[in-house]
Amino acid sequence: TRNYINEFVFHQLLKYERLPYLRYKFIPFYLNGKNLGIYALEEHFAKAVVENSGFREGPIIKFSDHFRNETKRMVKIDATGNFHYRTSNNSKIEVFNANRIRKINNNLKVSQFLLANNLIEEFLKGRLKTSDVFDIKLTAKYFALNDLLQSGNSNTWYDMRFYFDPISARLIPIGYDAAPPIRSFGRYLSVDVNALNLFDDLEFLKEYAKNLEVVSSGKYLDNFFQNIENDLNSSLKILNKTFPHVTFLKSEFIKNQKYIKTRLTPSRAIILNSENFNTGK
């Protein structure tokens, strides 16, 4: 699931950079006494996620799962999958643990969700910029880390989850279902996808470029893997009890670094059109 050890590495990287992350570990799983092997245990989106990541409690929002559910429903009817596509512009914004918020009747939490909901809606309508709605330092770092791992799933708008920071009144992505590939083919950057048109804001784009410089620097990966070495090795040992073939390919992440460096410093940064010379321009 999610490429074995790589999802674990993804959340460890978010933790290393002090971004919201999910606790994720591997455990032996038994059902009615039958050993089903090693399973991945992933934390759900609740109050503990935010607090464990070092942030003040605030709502966690997402786009409605209607897109995913409608796809499954329509494929059963028509194998070609012909249906009205959901987009970020026609999907409902939902909050996690809504029943708990209603139950405790906390006006502050409700108002925080309404503010978060209004911000994302105004952003989608083009009335607010990325820097008006998102914490651009943390959001830019988040996407740069995804590029380092080539986590394409994290660029899918309907899989994104956001934490609303009540202190800054800004949204921050929470890493989820990244599934970094074991081997990357056809590498690209988050800016190429431009999920939700986040990168249309020049201020955010500059912050993103700065973070790409950091994660592609020589010692970045060495320092990170040295930091998680013990946890990484122990997790691999647990995984290997059921999946003995699983190894960790650090070399793939180094290739991702080289790709980022190449994109940051193209060999032909300025291209002149020959017509400019012919016309004397």
Structure tokens at 110: 């409700």
The torsion angle over the Cα atoms of residues 223, 227, 231 and 232, rounded to 10 degrees, is 0
Query: What is the per-residue pLDDT for 85?
Result: 45
Question: 16-25, 78-87, 189-198 — which is least confidently predicted?
Answer: 78-87
pLDDT of residue 82: 47
Read off the pLDDT of each residue in 94-104 and give the average, rounded to a whole number.
64
Question: Taking the CB of residue 131, how many other CB atoms lie within 10 A of it?
Answer: 16
Q: Is 42 helix (H, G, I), strand (E, B) or coil?
A: strand
Q: Comparing C-alpha atoms, which of 18, 24, 59, 84 is closest to residue 232? A: 24
- CA–CA dist 182, 184 (Å, integer): 7
Q: What is the pLDDT of residue 113?
A: 85
Q: How many CA atoms lie within 13 A of 213 on its CB side?
A: 7
| pLDDT tens figures, 51-72 | 989 999 898 988 876 655 555 5
At 128-152, the pLDDT tens digits run 999 999 999 999 999 999 999 998 7
CB contact at 8 A, 26 and 239: yes
> What is the Cα–Cα distance from 276 to 199, expressed in whole angstroms?
30
The model's pTM is: 0.83
